[in-house]
Amino acid sequence: MENLPLKYYTGALGWIFQLGTDVPTTIQGYPDGGNLQNCPNNGQTLCMWQGQTILANDYHIVHDLNLGEGASGGPLIANYDPNVNLGLLYSNYASFDDLNDQLLGPIYDPIEFHALIGELTL
């Protein structure tokens, strides 16, 4: 529309790389099952978790947080401002490690990430 990017109309998260440990984080998604408190965990309701992630073994992790199904790919956001619903994307909910009882978010490679963004804007 009018040669403006989609984010002009919808808003968009910024992104950041190479965050350390103990990052204040907001995770959003539609969990189906799992153990997210104050959420119906029915796969139809947008729910939010706020706390800190820890950097360990090539992942951002949260101990004792299982978002079940339906929240996969949900953003891990630093500097989240609920007034405008924006922040800085730095990872996403990839999976739950049953053995160690922890949520896993990958560490983004800046070169790969920018290459993907470049493909989307062509």
The token duo for 60 is 């951002």
Give, for all 122 residues of the chain, the pLDDT tens digit: 577 666 666 667 888 998 889 999 999 999 999 999 999 999 999 999 999 999 998 899 999 999 998 899 999 999 999 888 889 999 999 999 999 999 999 999 999 888 877 765 55
In this predicted structure, what is the pLDDT of residue 115? 85
| Domain 14-120 CATH superfamily | Trypsin-like serine proteases (2.40.10.10)
Q: What are phi and psi of 97, to 5 degrees?
A: -90, 100
Domain locations along the chain:
14-120
Q: What are phi and psi of 32, to 5 degrees?
A: -120, 105
Q: Residue 74's closest CA among 31, 121, 38? A: 31
